Structure 1
Amino acid sequence: MSSTMKAAVYHGTRDIRIEQVPIPHPRDGEVVIAVRRSGICGTDATEWTAGPVMVPVHHRHPASGHLGPMIPGHEFVGEVVDGSAELPAGTLVAAGAGVWCGRCDRCAEGRTNICRNYYTLGLNAPGGLAEYVAAPARMLRTVPAGLPLDAAAMAQPLAVGLHAARRAGARHGDSVVIIGAGAIGTFTLAGLSHLIHVDITVVDLPGPKLDRAAKLGAARTLSAHDDVVAAVLELTGGRGADVVIEASGAPGQFETALRMVTTGGRVLAVGLPKDKPAVDMFSLALREVTIDSTVAHVCDDDLGVALDILAEGILGPLLLDSVISLDDLVTRGLEPLAASRVDGKILVAPTHRNW
């Protein structure tokens, strides 16, 4: 095997270069993976258009220790090539990307996603937009037999959606509204449908995203062009929804979520708006509405379940947009993603082999 590999390297705003870099060597507890697919998401697009935000190009990351240009890619699946007794060479694995210490108070609580020493491969340390990546074995899960690589590559973002679904706090029979049917909204919908029986309404612009939501368990869909607050109030007999999940990050939608939730209900912030929302604290306090947030996922709880859901064979084909080469990462990946011209998941195949 050559000592170098092809990789995308992030240098700064709108500056990602395809370079030859050294193949990583595993540290204690790590294995080396030949990357077969690596997904990109809105976070990657934001880093490219407006970053560095999370990539430690100019300041050393306190947990990962990385400083300088870095390989992005936090959604990847591949084949172990330098393994361990538990994960021998040839094993297909999906990565959780988040690395936790296992020693702090948050880890002791099982909240490893907010570990005091947390960092993420592809955001704070070299990731999977390369031919090879070194990753801790404990954040990897074996890909179920027969699960296509294109679907397995969605395990990490689906795990994020599962964690969001858990954080929503919905109870059996609740009315739930999800604002936003893009990738993260869809993954949250899939997670919610898997975990609990609730009545789900999905809001977005008319088109394929709402069609997909209907196929994945939404009881109904609403066009964002309409007065969705009035529609939700009518559907719930004037009460409002028990839980509203804001997964779009679009301007004004967090405020919309607060207006359509019932007294004593819950709003979960998933989408990240560019501008700070204007919150009506008077109404919020008088109605005792709970606002919650969510980040990443708990690997031990969510990644294996995500692979099981994908193995059912429904979600992956509905979400896949395209598979592109590493050379096309910017023109066919980040540019359309940043311009909101993508409804599903774009995956990158770092090698030209027919995997």
Structure 2
Amino acid sequence: MTVEMTARTYMITGPEPELWYRDLVSCLQSTFGSLLARAGADPLSVLGAGWRFLHLPGDVRSEEFYYPCPANESGGTDLGAALAPHHELHSRWWQPADENDVWREVRETLADDRLVIAAVDNFHLPFRPAYGDVHAAHLVVVYGLDETRGVVYVSDAMPPAFRGAVPIEEFLRSWGSANPTDVQDAFFSDSRIGRRCLDVRLDAPPAPLTPELLGGFLHTDVDAFTAVGSTPAAGSNTAVGSNTADPAADARARTGLAGYDEFAAELLDRCRAGDADALRELYPFGWGMQAQAALHGELLRSCGRQWGDPALAGAGRAVEAVAHAWTGLRFTGAHGLEDPRAASADIAHHATVLRGKYARAVDAVGAAAARL
């Protein structure tokens, strides 16, 4: 779309944002995917290049877009770097600096021909199935603002996909919502929206994905999975394509297979103690790990097919099996909220199945990496 700019109309130039989506991703990956596609990058190659297990106890928030981010050297976090540890993808959260002009930063970003990712509450968005019914924290892409007509142009790839105009007043209610506790959504309500937005930048174009480059990524990821404790294995090539803060530098971090074992043991202990909060945290935390595994598996499977490498394609399928195993654990937890003790045996079963899938996938990815 090419729209003539006026004093009160701000639109990106060129085509509308791509509705980038995969079945197991959340609004986090879909919105970042839209921005990557607009930057001329392949979202799957960027978002699917990295694969890790990272749990930060006490960090999980009741938002669809929660994702664990280790602290960087300055004490802050970078969601873009966490999502794409092998690429120069960076992001920062911001809120309007002036409550008397909440659109100023949005105007400036759109005038710079860049998209905005905004946090919203589904309860107030007319195109979401939860409209007027369920409060839930969500992300959408803003690609235009027309203050004369009183509309915001929004793109949302999550089903049912939508791209078009939303009345400013309804968007403002969604963007500034308190997102109160909602008994209909125990996982994504009770988290103030606060007019948060993400500024996302791809600082360098991704290099063409070659077997050698992908092999470096895979060696780094396998080393992180197999390290004892939180420290990367000796001789690991974590510097190759590394973009994110070292999770080992965050004292809370549970990483790799050992970190998964700690996470699963604590989850089961809390369930047996009747702690429903353990299951409330499981659902949003697990979605991030599930989405990452799904994208990584798809990338490896696609590259294996394209490069005629059955071992790489098989490794991709093994990682996709990890993603699907997360479904059993997450949904068992969701249905066990009312009685965590009663759900603990099923939680133990699904956690054990998932652990086996992780172990097999790490072995398969390591074997494939050795061939690249």
- Which structure shows the bigger proportion of residues in helix conformation? 2
- Which structure shows the bigger proportion of residues in strand conformation? 1
TM-score range relative to shorter protein: under 0.3
Q: TM-score, normalized by length of structure 1?
A: 0.26
